[in-house]
């Protein structure tokens, strides 16, 4: 096999992976998760990045604008990019209703269609972490950021609730594509520092907790995520013809929420807040 053939195969495989990701995040109702469960994370990231009027901001893996919309409210010039156009459409409609002006663009965080060093701030709120190739993602984030500009990320931790939810679903899910890395690794500070290396300075990486009080019990959490959250929907689609597996996963997801204290009024969902400056 020639190098040209290998490269062409890799490109074809990558396109297929991205097509599956695009479809997965369009399933269900991720904007409901963004507004009903994790709405406070966007403003947390905007504050941590120190975004203010006059800055140029790129939100990658922006979804329906959980961080992009709060950034635009500061008066910054904001571009929200995401692989899934259906999510961008929701954000665009919300921005229009609020009278906010943003640029919405369909884009792949591993292959951003933006100029080098073109933004004062490049950020992502539990979005870029789901791109399959972590180093390529970090490289593009750095490339898009101006020297001295700010990089800011919020990512679910491996040990926290969402990281454990992915661990619970893993035995039921199809094997990941070759070379794909687990999303919750972005919640490991050492992993993220290694991805950016000496290309950034002034690194701050702290584990923080989102208190989630949306759900009464484990069953309500499970049913909500089965209906709204693309990765959970994808796993259930993969086992839909095996009622025993469906029942087992139903039980495990509900039990996980109970273990994290869903009946106590609020579950602690840990995330890593990472900020740095491009060197």
- Does position 154 have pLDDT exceeding 50, yes or no? yes
Tell me how crowded residue 59 is: count the other CB atoms within 10 A of its CB. 33
Among the residues of 99-188, which ranges form H helices?
134-144, 161-169
Q: What is the pLDDT of residue 3?
A: 38
- Centre a 10 Å sphere on the Cβ of residue 33 and count the other Cβ atoms it contains: 22
Question: 221 with 262: CB under 8 angstroms?
Answer: yes
What are the tens digits of pLDDT across the range 29-45? Answer: 999 999 999 999 999 99
- Here the tokens at position 185 are 């690794």
Task: Read off the pLDDT of residues 71-90 as tens digits, 9 standing for 90 and up.
Answer: 999 999 999 999 999 999 99
> Could you report the per-residue pLDDT of 181-221, keeping only the tens digit for each?
999 999 999 999 999 999 999 999 999 999 999 999 999 99
pLDDT at position 12 is 60
What is the Cα–Cα distance from 213 to 142, expressed in whole angstroms?
A: 35
pLDDT on residue 5: 34
Say whether pTM exceeds 0.85.
yes
pLDDT band at 6 (very low <50, low <70, confident <90, very high): very low
Q: Quick one: pLDDT at residue 9?
A: 34
- The separation between CA 87 and the C-alpha centre of its own chain, rounded to angstroms, equals 12
Residues 246-259 have pLDDT tens digits of 999 999 999 999 99
Q: How confident is the model over 138-146, as a mean pLDDT? A: 98
Separation between Cα atoms, residue 241 and residue 80, nearest integer Å? 38
Q: What is the distance between the alpha carbons of residues 207 and 149, in angstroms, rounded to a whole number?
A: 22
pLDDT above 90: percentage of residues in the chain: 93
Question: Which of 9-18, 46-55, 80-89 has the lowest average pLDDT?
Answer: 9-18
Spatial distance between the Cα atoms of 184 and 165, rounded to a whole number of angstroms:
10
* 14 pLDDT more than 90: no
Q: Are strands 267-278 and 145-156 parallel, antiparallel or unpaired?
A: antiparallel
What confidence tier does 13 reach under pLDDT thresholds 50, 70, 90?
A: confident
Q: Average pLDDT of the chain?
A: 95
Tokens of 247: 């029942």
């Amino acid at each position: 096999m020639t190098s040209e053939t290998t490269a062409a195969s890799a490109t074809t495989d990558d396109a297929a992976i991205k097509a599956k990701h695009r479809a997965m995040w369009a399933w269900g109702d991720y904007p409901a998760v963004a507004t009903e469960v994790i709405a406070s994370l966007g403003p947390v990231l905007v504050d941590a990045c120190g975004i203010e009027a006059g800055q140029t901001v790129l939100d990658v893996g922006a979804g329906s604008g959980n961080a992009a919309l709060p950034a635009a409210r500061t008066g910054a010039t904001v571009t929200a990019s995401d692989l899934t156009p259906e999510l961008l459409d929701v954000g665009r409609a919300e921005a229009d209703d609020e009278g906010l002006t943003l640029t919405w663009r369909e884009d792949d965080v591993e292959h951003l269609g933006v100029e080098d060093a073109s933004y004062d701030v490049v950020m992502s709120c539990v979005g870029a972490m789901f791109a399959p190739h972590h180093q390529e993602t970090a490289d593009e984030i750095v490339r898009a950021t101006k020297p001295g500009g700010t990089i800011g990320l919020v990512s679910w931790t491996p040990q926290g609730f969402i990281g454990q939810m992915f661990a619970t679903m893993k035995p039921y899910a199809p094997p990941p594509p070759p070379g794909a890395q687990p999303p919750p690794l972005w919640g490991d500070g050492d992993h993220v520092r290694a991805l950016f290396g000496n290309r950034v300075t002034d690194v701050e990486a702290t584990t923080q907790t989102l208190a989630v009080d949306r759900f009464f019990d484990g069953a309500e959490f499970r049913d909500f995520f089965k209906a709204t959250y693309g990765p959970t929907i994808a796993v259930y689609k993969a086992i839909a013809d095996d009622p025993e597996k469906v029942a087992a996963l139903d039980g495990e997801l509900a039990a996980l929420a109970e273990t994290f204290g869903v009946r106590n009024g609020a579950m602690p969902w840990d995330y890593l807040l990472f900020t740095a400056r491009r060197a």
